[in-house]
Amino acid sequence: MVNTLMQLIRVAAIGPESSGEGEHAKAEVLTQILNEIGFDKIERYDAVDSRVPSGKRPNIVAYFNGKTDAKRLWIVAHLDVVPSGEESLWKVTKPFEPTVKNGCVYGRGSEDNGQSLVASMFAVKALKQLGIKLNRTVALAFVADEEAGSTMGIQHLISKGLFRKNDLIVVPDSGEPKGNFIEIAEKSILWFKVVTIGKQTHGSLPNKGLNAHRIGMQVALALDTKLHQKYNAENDYFTVPISTFEPTKKDKNVDAVNIVPGEDVVYFDCRILPQYNVEDVLADVCRVAAEFEAKTGAKIKVEVIQKQAAPPVLNNESEITLLLKEALMQARGIEAKVGGIGGGTCAAFFRKQGIPAVVWSTIDEVAHQPDEYARIANMVEDAKVFALLATM
């Protein structure tokens, strides 16, 4: 399992939004591994994407047939990874040169989502080697584009009609270190950018221009304050019980210290409790932008990058929730609790279709960080739970 995880980490699968080439190369390696394990059927559902050299974003489905195909167990993991971030912050190893240390595999994509990719494959491999004939078919879906909205990934796969209302779906793409948290609800997601256009000028003559950077900062801080104050409800069902509104990315502006920037771009990542309407939040953002436009004379545009309204909260008693709780108790003696997170995993898209999906895995929550790692014991223990779940 460790070797397989390291083999997968070595092939970066970064989306075109982050100047990557997509998942093509990683899909080739994965297909080879799946062939070696010997699944009953492997299918490809590529989405066309002219932004990547291969022209497509691969989605792979591998089936291990049971006695009946009536109610499949699906385990859905994603192939893509986020970029390294600041490389100098990686102390243990370089992002795509995996290494093992203190019982963990380090590298970008180790925890998110390599650990679960490998755990799901090896659960099937173990069942196969033990000669266990399952009642239900197990289908593993390995999808693209999870980190940037999933249009070329799980949404593409769902549009092919592969998933049925009574299927059992697990998305092992979030969780807690004890493995005792089953996620059945997610917040709404709103990503937007604010573009402020002023007038570029010499640093010593600010009166001749309009400093877009200053106005951009003022707008960002005003949004930060306004959104936190207005949408301040708490819901203890969620691990982070409040709505979050974070200014994150900044586009680069001018190249010299003595230039007053004529353009400023700042991005926000908002995770909003389901009780609020995302459209209301967006309307407030536009209102603040308009206020500053009137006040400063700058041109201020708000552009939506991603907007996903939270799907309905899944029933605590859905079959997959109960089975997973049972498997956790039997395999590991874990009493699992059920709740919500900031989102957005592939599970949200199933829930929108009225198909119950749970999110669960055992992780230290180091995804997207420098020195990301996967704990080997977690990978092995999660594989046991998947295998047991398949037999239930």
Exactly one of 146, 147, 183, 382 is catalytic; name it: 146
Q: Identify the residue among 112, 176, 263, 382 touching Zn ion (CB under 5 A).
A: 112
> Is residue 113 at the binding interface for Zn ion, with CB under 5 A as the rule?
yes
Exactly one of 80, 112, 263, 372 is catalytic; name it: 80
Q: Tell me the site size for Zn ion, rule CB under 5 A.
A: 3
Q: Cis link prior to 344 (omega < 30° from 0)? A: yes
Query: In whole angstroms, how close is the CB of 186 to Zn ion at the nearest point?
Result: 13
Identify the three-state secondary structure at position 221: helix
Q: Which residue is nearest to Zn ion (CB)?
A: 112
Tokens of 236: 């203890």
> Is residue 80 at the binding interface for Zn ion, with CB under 5 A as the rule?
no
Query: In whole angstroms, how close is the CB of 313 to Zn ion at the nearest point?
Result: 21
What number of helices (H) and strands (E) belong to the chain? Answer: 9, 19
Contacts 24+ apart (CB under 8 A), 125-132: 125/37, 126/383, 126/387, 127/64, 127/387, 127/390, 127/391, 128/37, 128/38, 128/64, 132/391
Q: Which is nearer to Zn ion, 52 or 143 (CB)?
A: 143
Q: CB of 256 within 8 A of CB of 285?
A: no
Q: CB of 45 within 8 A of CB of 56?
A: no
80 is catalytic: yes
Near Zn ion by CB under 5 A, which window of 168-176, 225-233, 245-253, 372-380? 168-176
For tokens 């990978």, name the residue. Answer: 379
Q: Identify the residue among 173, 183, 372, 382 touching Zn ion (CB under 5 A).
A: 173
Query: In whole angstroms, how close is the CB of 82 to Zn ion at the nearest point?
Result: 8
Q: Which is nearer to Zn ion, 332 or 368 (CB)?
A: 368
The three-state (H, E, C) secondary structure of 11-26, written as one string? CCCECHHHCCCCCHHH
Name which of residues 175 to 214 contact Zn ion (CB under 5 A).
none
Query: In whole angstroms, how close is the CB of 26 to Zn ion at the nearest point?
Result: 14
Burial of residue 129 (CB within 10 Å: 0-12, 13-18, 19+) is exposed
Query: In whole angstroms, how close is the CB of 122 to Zn ion at the nearest point?
Result: 19
Distance CA 149, CA 80 (A): 11
Near Zn ion by CB under 5 A, which window of 49-57, 107-115, 151-159, 333-341? 107-115
Q: What amino acid positions are annotated as catalytic residues?
A: 80, 146
Residues in contact with Zn ion by the rule CB under 5 A:
112-113, 173
